[in-house]
Amino acid sequence: DQQVKQNSPSLSVQEGRISILNCDYTNSMFDYFLWYKKYPAEGPTFLISISSIKDKNEDGRFTVFLNKSAKHLSLHIVPSQPGDSAVYFCAASAETGANNLFFGTGTRLTVIP
């Protein structure tokens, strides 16, 4: 039962343009959301997070948007750079749970120079 879904397995974007990665979830108890970036043969690297009390969080070129009514979040990267090419995982957790994270299946972003 996949509670966090990333329906686009891959995305290609031209350098300098905006990358938009999407994520949907089904569990209404989730109240904390994170994006991780992963290079081959490495562990996931934390990028940015958002609590359910917010609808937007920004950190440099990265912005995460949360739409609780739609159970949808997105990661915007602007401007995209070739070094952003990686697999991006969306993750969610419930505060009242044991704090384990539920991951999506990932989206492979390729930024074309």
Partner 1 sequence: NAGVMQNPRHLVRRRGQEARLRCSPMKGHSHVYWYRQLPEEGLKFMVYLQKENIIDESGMPKERFSAEFPKEGPSILRIQQVVRGDSAAYFCASSPRIVAGASTDTQYFGPGTRLTVL
Q: How far is the CB of 112 from partner 1 (least distance, A)?
A: 23
Residues 10-49 as x/- pattern, contact with partner 1 by CB under 8 A: ---------------------xx-x-x----xxxxxx--x
CA angle 1, 24, 77 (to 5 degrees): 135
First to last CA, the chain: 38
- Asked if 20 and 12 count as a contact pair (C-beta separation under 8 A), the reply is no
Binding residues for partner 1 restricted to 69-108, rule: CB under 8 A: 89, 91, 93, 95, 97-106
Hey, is 28 helix, strand or coil?
coil
Q: How far is the CB of 36 from partner 1 (least distance, A)?
A: 7
Does residue 4 touch partner 1 according to CB under 8 A?
yes
Nearer to partner 1, 100 or 113 (CB): 100
d(CA 5, CA 62): 20
**What are the backbone angles phi and psi of residue 84, rounded to the nearest 5°?**
-80, -10
Residues within the interface to partner 1 (CB under 8 A): 4, 6, 31-32, 34, 36, 41-46, 49, 51, 89, 91, 93, 95, 97-106
